[in-house]
Structure 1
Amino acid sequence: MQTYQVDGHEPSLLPEGKAWRYVWGDEFDGDTLDLDKWSFRLNFWGKRFQAYTDEGVELDGKSNLKINLIEKDGQYCSAQLQTGANSFDAPPPAYETEVNACGDNNFWPLGEIEKPKFMHRYGYYEVRCKLQQQPGWWSAFWLQSPSIGTSYDPAYSGVEVDIMENFKRDGEVTSGNFYGGYGSKLSEDARVHYRVSDTPDGYHRFGLDWSEDGYVFYCDGVETARTSGPVSQVEQFILLTTECKGYRNGNMDQPSDELKGAVLPDCFTVDYVRVFDEVK
């Protein structure tokens, strides 16, 4: 891997054999989240979801973002950040009308959504982060499209690209793709599970090289998976998210027993998010 230095910050690790140009990023300088770059995801399938919040997000003054696990009266929540939106985020009336008209509900209908703050196609996407320590909640760095699931062809409706998901506290990380909507035609590709090695400061770099030829996944400069498709040919947005376990598992108003065992405070810490284009 080659390094790319951002003044005053930790360098990026980028794939060799290509020239790269920095096109977008957030170093999380300052003392408040930049809302010109990020929005909060608060809905789940178009309805307000109690485990999502716009609270508990802070910058520590050392160029780090911290997404905290919050507990209030036995209920838990944490934040999800995104640079765009889709019908996942649409208000209930618009969303429910579209779903009822959809028939088998396999498609994710495209309703009225917010204007994106950053969308991009192809390039290298990288996060440097420190994983949470307590059980019962997970973190992720991923891509989604505004029109995902509106067509069976992922080239035109997009691909969910999970660059990093961390569900367990044993260092295991998951990456890979989902496409074809979120119903009976849901398919997956290049899904891998691996354990990260310890680092002196606890931080790890997770990256994705997305090109018209496929996807290559990296952890700390080492390739972990690759696939030649299906490949999204549309612009997608970035998500930097956490979520509490239990609330989706047929028990929408209660946390998991695992989550109840979490000792607070705990947080998912992000040093930076960066996007690079290949210079050809």
Structure 2
Amino acid sequence: MARLVVVPLIALCLMCQVLNAQKKDNRIFIQTNYNEAKDWQLVWQDNFDGISIDTTKWTKVPRGTADWDRHMSYDDKCYALKDGMLYLRGINNPDKNNDTSRYLTGGIYSKGKFAFQYGKIEIRAKLECGKGAWPAMWMLAEQEKYGKYPRNGEIDIMEHLNFDSIIYQTTHSYYTLELKQPNNPPHFGTAKLDVSGFNTFGINWYPDKIVFTLNGQETFTYPRVKDVDPSQWPYDQPFYVLLDMQLGGNWVGSINPGHLPVQMIIDWVKVYQ
């Protein structure tokens, strides 16, 4: 059961009342009050300074049957930490005796280890390009408050396709997918990025809107709207974080094996409330 963290009055003043009542169950951070005009306070981060993935924060994504996870692998060749960076790779499978998949990809998620409700997340990373490359940073509900997917929604902080000079920033839900309401309000935007270098991808998440950002600039806002089906806003519960170097699928298209390996290189992940 979640417990309230009681903070002394002086500390509250120092934090500009951003964290007036933050619930915290070791791994779940729920901001119960916020003020857009006040400063954010760092509550969770990973700078990837170790020699291996911090398993108190992350788990390697298991393989599934969807386009995004069908090549996911625990193989060490899909992961590396060096010079304070995490490398998530999409590779040609060098040994089909142990795994018959033609391609292997690396991904991590914080499911069961860290989730938050409202606040700001930023991720600094470099995205390598290739035909069929589909790096993604996104979020899913930790506790399935409303039932099975897509009833709890999905927040796509960033998706990048092939050699594009833009990213996609999107929300998905029962409302957009099953009730076919992708434009009331519009559920995605695009933003131009520098594919040759590092960029910082993020969202500012409030009870009434999700503001997507790129390099600190607001790019797209998904608002909570009135007088529509309640499934339009499942974003009132804790979400966990997924970072993965995906390959291929109906949206991104076919994979060119000659463009592999391809990497998403992550410098840090920071969450504020």
Q: TM-score normalized by structure 2?
A: 0.71
Question: Structure 1 residues 26, 186: CA separation in 2 closer, same or farther (over 3 Å shift)?
Answer: farther
Question: Structure 1 residues 197, 263: CA separation in 2 closer, same or farther (over 3 Å shift)?
Answer: closer
> Across the two proteins, how many residue pairs are aligned to each other?
218
Is 1:184 aligned with 2:178?
yes
Which amino acid in 2 is paired with 1:71?
N
Which amino acid in 2 is paired with 1:218?
T
1:80 to 64, 83, 107: 107
Is 1:194 aligned with 2:197?
no
Identity %: 24
Counterpart residue number, 2:54: 34
Contact 2:127 2:195 in 1 (8 A): no
Q: CA deviation at 1:159?
A: 2.2
Is 1:273 aligned with 2:269?
yes
Counterpart residue number, 2:11: none
- Which whole-Å deviations, capped at 9, do the CAs of 1:26-56 have from their partners, x for residues lacking one? 100011111111112214269xx65111121
Corresponding residue SS for 2:237: coil
1:59 to 72, 81, 88: 81
Is 1:217 aligned with 2:217?
no
Structure 2 gaps, min length 5: 1-34, 225-232
Q: CA deviation at 1:181?
A: 7.7
Q: CA deviation at 1:17?
A: 3.0
Q: Runs ≥4 in structure 1, deviation > 6 angstroms? A: none
Counterpart residue number, 2:238: 235
Distance 2:81 2:37 in 1: 35
Corresponding residue SS for 2:266: strand
Which amino acid in 2 is paired with 1:274?
K
Query: What RMSD over aligned residues (CA atoms) do the two structures have, in Å?
Result: 3.0
Q: CA deviation at 1:261?
A: 4.2
Question: Structure 1 residues 222, 182: CA separation in 2 closer, same or farther (over 3 Å shift)?
Answer: closer
Distance 1:152 1:50 in 2: 20
Contact 2:63 2:71 in 1 (8 A): no
Structure 1 gaps, min length 5: 1-14, 85-115, 250-254
Q: CA deviation at 1:171?
A: 1.7
Contact 2:152 2:235 in 1 (8 A): yes
- Which whole-Å deviations, capped at 9, do the CAs of 1:130-164 have from their partners, x for residues lacking one? 0022221211111100355844998xx53201110
Is 1:173 aligned with 2:167?
yes
Is 1:118 aligned with 2:118?
no
